[in-house]
Structure 1
């Protein structure tokens, strides 16, 4: 049976177009969810990431093959390129903040902890008092986006950062904070950025180290300290994410998917996938969506 084509939108339901480098948008959750009868079909945004602030209600998010359940009060973070859709509980209330990748890069410059928030889709609960602060921040953001008073950009930046600091502190409390020096954290952030741009080439780790201007030994040490993985594992992780997306949301053959992520030999790709995921690419595709995860977890 042909698989459903996954559209790439500007904002949901709007044709894809060039994203302004400083694009920031906020809207009420029900602006698009209510007319869609509380179901948002799987889609993606090439250059836009989301911060969902859920004040009442809840639902389930389908994101890159996983089913994530959540209930208010909570945050959802959805990075650009994630294939995602929602089944909302009727009359769920909240807001969606959407930011351009280029804007986020500038906003997070010098703060790798914030940049790491958008490494994967995630949901987490927050306290009622923190939701009150989040609501205040969003109200201020909406006001700033509606006019051009002096200090406009600083006020917008401040409102978004206030939301992300809430997210960062919750996620840091729920898991061990990244170890390693500031230089090592920066190295891994630069490695992840290069992997994102070049993972389809399957370049050797020696080439990544050369491009970053450090030795392979130093690169391995930084990855072990900060990410708890080797450079090769980080590369394979990104490759597998793209392969899983294609298996679930495209009509490409398994051989074509392997080729698209840098494997010229279909048999080698099949062995790679089986070893990493624990099941064959064909079985993964036939199973459909991955196992559900119930939230909140913190």
Structure 2
């Protein structure tokens, strides 16, 4: 189970002067033209016990990939919770801080403000990206993480065409952010999209609940991130995707216990559990009775009626 690191207390976080840093924890200094820096998320978060206190970078922007874990971000007084996989965009001059889930994993790409705006000027579609801090859900992080790895490699050596290669990687990252932001924008049609997504999930659960597949597999098959699927299920069904999967398995288990002569072990196997003992614990946790006791109680109730 992940644990949310303590930090960013609303009552005290903004009472002290907000420090201005170069990179986090480093004294402010001039930013070189074309400055780009990539580092692992835990390089500064782990030593700080997964809490980054509110601070500001005058001339530096962040693109943060959260590949695993999540947390919450405070940006100019607003709080945003996020889960992996996602991108966080933080413009220069924005007071921001983080509370990370323990052992979150990802990459922090930092870009000089003048250099970023030089790139944004090439395409008007990209310009709104850094008007405010935002969290953008991703369908998966592998491609983005691979591209950031290539960017870090380019920055580590001096080869012909380095600047062009660095800009190509940065522009690719921003295009990905732009396209995923467009997919996840909260518009008037969000409710309808979420309802259709949950309907597709229910259909898939009905077809495949006996496979006991994790939520990640369902999200991938539906072409959305786990975060987007969780949000849709919470809004439309009032349940998590995992709870919907468990609910369907329990319904089938109760049907078989009540209307068949299958043993408890056979019921377990019929709905996809490989271990009957684990099935019994699962059923008891959700129903308050063991499968055997539940079957006996329902049988007595039917006989009495």
Q: Which whole-Å deviations, capped at 9, do the CAs of 1:111-165 have from their partners, x for residues lacking one?
A: 122121000000021112xx11101111100100001111101110111111111
How far apart, in 2, do the equivalents of 1:80 and 1:174 lie? 24
How far apart, in 2, do the equivalents of 1:117 and 1:89 lie? 25
2:135 match: 123
1:91 is aligned, of 103, 107, 123, to 103
2:68 is aligned, of 47, 56, 63, to 56
Consecutive unaligned residues in structure 2, runs of 5 or more: 1-11, 188-226, 233-305
Secondary structure class of the residue paired with 1:52:
strand
1:44 is aligned, of 28, 42, 56, to 56
* 2:162 paired with 1:155: no
Q: Which whole-Å deviations, capped at 9, do the CAs of 1:156-199 have from their partners, x for residues lacking one?
A: 0111111111100011233499xxxxxxxxxxxxxxxxxxxxxx
1:65 is aligned, of 63, 70, 77, to 77
1:164 match: 174
Secondary structure class of the residue paired with 1:113:
helix
Consecutive unaligned residues in structure 1, runs of 5 or more: 178-294
Distance apart, 1:110 and its partner CA: 2.5
Structure 1 residues 1-298: aligned runs within 5 Å: 3-128=15-140, 131-175=141-185
Distance apart, 1:101 and its partner CA: 0.8
How far apart, in 2, do the equivalents of 1:96 and 1:52 lie? 4
Secondary structure class of the residue paired with 1:157:
helix
TM-score by length of 1: 0.57
How far apart, in 2, do the equivalents of 1:172 and 1:3 lie? 36
The answer to whether the Cα contact below 8 Å between 2:137 and 2:181 also exists between their aligned partners in 1 is no
TM-score by length of 2: 0.56
Distance apart, 1:107 and its partner CA: 1.3
Distance apart, 1:69 and its partner CA: 0.2
The answer to whether the Cα contact below 8 Å between 2:38 and 2:108 also exists between their aligned partners in 1 is yes
How far apart, in 2, do the equivalents of 1:176 and 1:92 lie? 26
Distance apart, 1:26 and its partner CA: 0.4
1:197 match: none
Distance apart, 1:22 and its partner CA: 0.6
Closer/same/farther in 2, CA of residues 161 and 4 from structure 1, 3 Å limit: same
Q: Which whole-Å deviations, capped at 9, do the CAs of 1:254-298 have from their partners, x for residues lacking one?
A: xxxxxxxxxxxxxxxxxxxxxxxxxxxxxxxxxxxxxxxxx7679
How far apart, in 1, do the equivalents of 2:125 and 2:71 lie? 28
> For the pair shown, which has the larger CA radius of gyration, 1 or 2?
2
- Count of equivalent residues: 179
RCO higher in structure (CA 8 A, sep ≥6):
1
